[in-house]
């Protein structure tokens, strides 16, 4: 199992450009999450999904859109990037159902470091 | 909704003990503890559920006080490998949003 993977690992954008971050998980997890992490701010939830075809807003959703067309993928889009969106982005997945010997918690991908100039 | 962690930072010598606290103003369903090394993703340590018991793994354990809506992470006989930033993640209801604390930076020195 690869677990949770994120593409790309690094990206530099110019203000106003758009991009999509891809998160994929091969653990058949129901729930998926997108966070951003800024120095001294901890992890802040952008959007999340509790199942294929469903998404919901988190704490800081403005400027981002998401889609979960397939259970294993969760896409995060920036339509018009701004310098304030410079951050490290983490995707996480969670079983969402009780399974023996599997903690129902979040498992994180390696992160994407995004810089917006 | 964001839980409050304390202390913000702590420096220990190898073999010393530490306690990290996580407090919420709301009633919690669960508390999840993670450790993050610099430049890496957070790694799950343990989960505590409402009505559950204290959990432990080797020299790291945690408790959940439902009356105070506070969880504490205990690190005993610290090792160099314990260095990192510790986050608590809280959940008000199952399947709901997670709220992470701002983290506690733990540094273990020889």
Which of chain A's residues have a Cβ under 8 Å away from the Cβ of B47?
103-105
Asked whether residue A82 carries a pLDDT value surpassing 70, the answer given is: yes
Which chain B residues contact residue A111 at CB under 8 A?
40-41
- The DSSP output letter for B81 is G
Could you report the per-residue pLDDT of B33-65, keeping only the tens digit for each? 999 999 999 999 988 887 766 666 678 899 898
Residue in chain B nearest A37 by alpha carbon: B102
- Angle made by CA atoms A63, A45, A21, in degrees to the nearest 5: 55
Contact predicate A43/B3, CB 8 Å: no
- pLDDT at residue A97 is higher than 80: no
Query: Which chain A residue has the Cα nearest residue B4?
Result: A42
**Are the CB atoms for A58 and A111 separated by under 8 Å?**
no
List the single residue in B2, B47, B95 with the smallest CB-CB distance to A103: B47
Cβ contact, residue pair B44, A106, below 8 Å: yes
Q: What is the mean pLDDT of residues A13-37?
A: 96
Q: Across all residues in chain A, what is the average pLDDT?
A: 92
Instruction: Tell me whether residues A31 and B95 touch, CB distance under 8 A.
Output: yes
CA distance A14 to chain B (A): 24
> Which residues on chain B are in Cβ contact (under 8 Å) with A50?
95
- Residues with Cβ within 8 Å of A109's Cβ and at least 6 positions away in sequence, in order, are A3, A4, A5, A6, A23, A90, A91, A92, B41
> Which residues in chain A are closer than 8 Å to B40, comparing Cβ atoms?
110-111
Low-confidence ranges of chain B (pLDDT < 50): none
Residue A99 pLDDT level (bands cut at 50, 70, 90): low
Residue of A nearest to B87 (CA): A42
């Amino acid at each position: 199992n690869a677990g949770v993977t994120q593409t790309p690992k690094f990206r530099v954008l110019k203000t106003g450009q758009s991009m999509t971050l891809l998160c994929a998980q091969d653990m058949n997890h129901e729930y998926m999450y997108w966070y951003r992490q800024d120095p001294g701010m901890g992890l802040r939830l952008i959007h999340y999904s509790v199942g294929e075809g469903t998404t919901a807003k988190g704490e800081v959703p403005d400027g981002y859109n998401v889609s979960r067309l397939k259970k294993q993928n969760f896409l995060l889009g920036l339509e018009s990037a701004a310098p304030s969106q410079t951050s490290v982005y983490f995707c996480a997945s969670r079983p969402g159902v009780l399974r023996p010997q599997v903690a129902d918690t979040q498992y994180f991908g390696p992160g994407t470091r995004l810089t917006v100039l | 909704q964001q839980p409050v962690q304390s202390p913000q930072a702590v420096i220990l010598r190898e073999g010393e003990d530490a306690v990290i606290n996580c407090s919420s103003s709301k009633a919690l369903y669960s508390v999840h503890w993670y450790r993050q090394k610099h430049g890496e993703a957070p790694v799950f340590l343990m989960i505590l559920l409402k009505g559950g018991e204290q959990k432990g793994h080797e020299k790291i354990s945690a408790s959940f006080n439902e009356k105070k809506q506070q969880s504490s992470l205990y690190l005993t006989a610290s090792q160099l490998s314990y260095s990192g930033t510790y986050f608590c993640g809280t959940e008000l209801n199952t399947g709901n949003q997670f709220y992470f604390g701002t983290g506690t930076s733990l540094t273990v020195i020889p």
